Amino acid sequence: MKKRFFILFLALPFLVLPFLVLSCTQEDIPPESMAETFTVSATLGTDTNNPNTRISMEQNIIDMKLKWEDDDQIALCIVANEQAYTQTVNVDIDPKNNKKASFTFTLPTGDYPTFDLYGLYGGDGFQENSTLVKLPDNPVADTEAGIRKAMVLTFAKKNINVSSPDFSVNFSHLGSVFKILVSNTDAANFTTISGISRAVLASNSADPLGLHVNTDKSSGRYNVATGDFTETTSIAELSFVLPGVINLKPGDSQEFWGWFIPKEGPNWPELKLKLLDALDNVLLTTTGIKEAKPSPPVSGKAYHFFAEYNNNSFTFSSLIKGKFTDPRDGNVYKTVKIGDKIVMAENLRYLPEVMGRLISKSDEPCYYVYGFGQDAAITDVLSVEDAKDTDNYKIYGVLYNWPAAMNGATTSNTIPSRVQGVCPAGWHLPSHAELLSIFEVYGTAWATRGIYFKAIGNTNNGFGLWNDNNTNATNISGFTALPAGSKSGTASNAFSNIGTHASFYTSTEDTDDTNAIRPQLRATDGNINKDASGKKYAAHSVRCVKNY
């Protein structure tokens, strides 16, 4: 029998991320989208001995979307005549859908009517000429990007007819992602947590956590044909080691990522979280616990744990935090759920062009970076890249006049506003009523409500960006309002109020159609000037809200 070459098209599924608040909630994985089936059409793949498997992930609170990347490869195992043959092939990404790709493989010489095909994406490959997958040694990382290569996905396709091999494959997740986010929110003592080397998620009762862990280094195996595991055990603690020792200052956060394989039973026990130094001394242990769950972890899901240190107390947090990547420019934004809305916890930084101080318009979009172009002539064309390289851009984002914030839309005061404006697809510029509904989640009076939304610390104590009198901010909402200031007019002091004021444009025009509403917070007290408005040529910060 001659060698045959086949081309297959395949799709990556979504990895669903239910964020954990006070319990390990689990949701069903959405149906895997079947790729179109193709028959023999090309021989594009080449065999290599060193698979390069990467997964690109984009987190948006609920979903972590997977896509193929250039140079991705797949390890294959073909079983024919009761003999296993392993090989590695490249993938050819569908230019119209990066969740789909094709690959070619070579059938071994022989005379057989059917064969089985198994695939592996990620991990340490197949054991040579075997259906056994070599399991990685409990990978951990300090960033989302760092955990990508650790993920293992597999597929199994059995009894394929050699004479008409018309089929497609879909990968399934073998394990789950675990993320811990520790935040230092100490707005009372401004204590730095020094010398953190690792985090440990531990069973409060010493019962096993229901996860496969290699018994010895690189010993674990998974049989993709039978679904059996060998040389694995289950332990009562998961350790997330950082690449180096860090000091967590007030206002800062640290991520711990891990990839683990769920094991059938036992159920989740109560959990606690510990922070340790390089000598394994325990720095902090949560005073509260995550309650036990009546089921074990499930493959294809991600489990998020949020913890906060505040005023000598280390506890699990009820805040749901995430990240979003703007596809327009690659900017990554922290997000937080406030009430029933997901809000960017940073000022928008989208900057298609940049203007200097002498340009000011109320009928055309204008984009500014605080202080940039202070001395530029009105005819100067300013560099966007130079503006992005400034600290003010990186910290405070972009200041938009109202036409830029609205991006051609008309005024709205509905909830939601339904005005995308300058926000990325899937997000929108909140209306006045909508932004107030977000602020109303915390506090009871507008005169003091701002303390729950302003970033903690001040320039005097060295743990904040507000002016020295920002002593009452707690930021328990996670909104993290920063004093980005504003730009108004063309005078020499057109850029003003950095360090003292934070103003956020809404999609709502004031009764005077030359003005637009932009609620404002300030350093001197906890007041939110909820109805503040100003001329449309003035430029302020923008916070986007996820569509709902």
Predicted pLDDT at 11:
64
For residue 161, pLDDT over 50 is answered with yes
pLDDT band, very low/low/confident/very high, at 5 (cuts 50, 70, 90): low
pLDDT at residue 400 is higher than 70: yes
Is the CB of residue 77 less than 8 Å from the CB of residue 224? yes
Q: What is the pLDDT of residue 43?
A: 23
**C-alpha span between 130 and 147 (Å, rounded):** 26
Average pLDDT, stretch 404-429? Answer: 98
- The number of C-alpha atoms within 13 Å of 234 and in the hemisphere containing its C-beta is 19
282 exposed, middle or buried (CB, 10 Å; 0-12, 13-18, 19+)?
Answer: exposed
> Are the C-beta atoms of 98 and 49 separated by less than 8 Å?
no
> Bigger pLDDT: 485 or 56?
485
According to DSSP, residue 301 is labeled: B
pLDDT at 534: 97
Q: Where are the alpha helices (DSSP H) in 23-171?
A: none
pLDDT band of residue 270 (cuts 50, 70, 90) is very high
125 pLDDT exceeds 80?
Answer: yes
3-state DSSP assignment of residue 146: helix
Q: For residue 375, give every residue at least 6 positions away whose Cβ sits within 8 Å of its Cβ, in sequence order, or none.
A: 356, 357
For residues 293-305, average pLDDT: 86
Least confident of 11-20, 64-73, 155-164: 11-20
One-letter amino acid at 208 equals: P
Average pLDDT, the chain: 88
Report the alpha-carbon distance of residue 34 to residue 428 in Å, rounded: 32
pLDDT (tens digit per residue) in 502-520: 999 999 999 999 999 999 9
- E strand or H helix at 158: strand 153-161
Beta bridge partners of 182: 254, 307
- pLDDT average, residue stretch 171-177: 89
Quickly state the pLDDT bin for 123 (edges 50, 70, 90): confident
For the chain, the C-alpha Rg in angstroms (whole number) is 27
Q: 489: exposed, middle or buried (C-beta count within 10 Å: 0-12, 13-18, 19+)? A: middle
Contact 529, 506 (CB under 8 A): no
Contacts of 385 by beta carbon, 8 Å cutoff, 6+ apart: none
Region of poorest pLDDT, from 51-65, 153-167, 233-247, 396-410:
51-65
Copy the structure tokens of residue 162.
Answer: 């050699």
What's the CA dihedral at 84, 86, 90, 96 to 10 degrees? 30
* Highest mean pLDDT, choosing among 13-27, 36-50, 259-273: 259-273
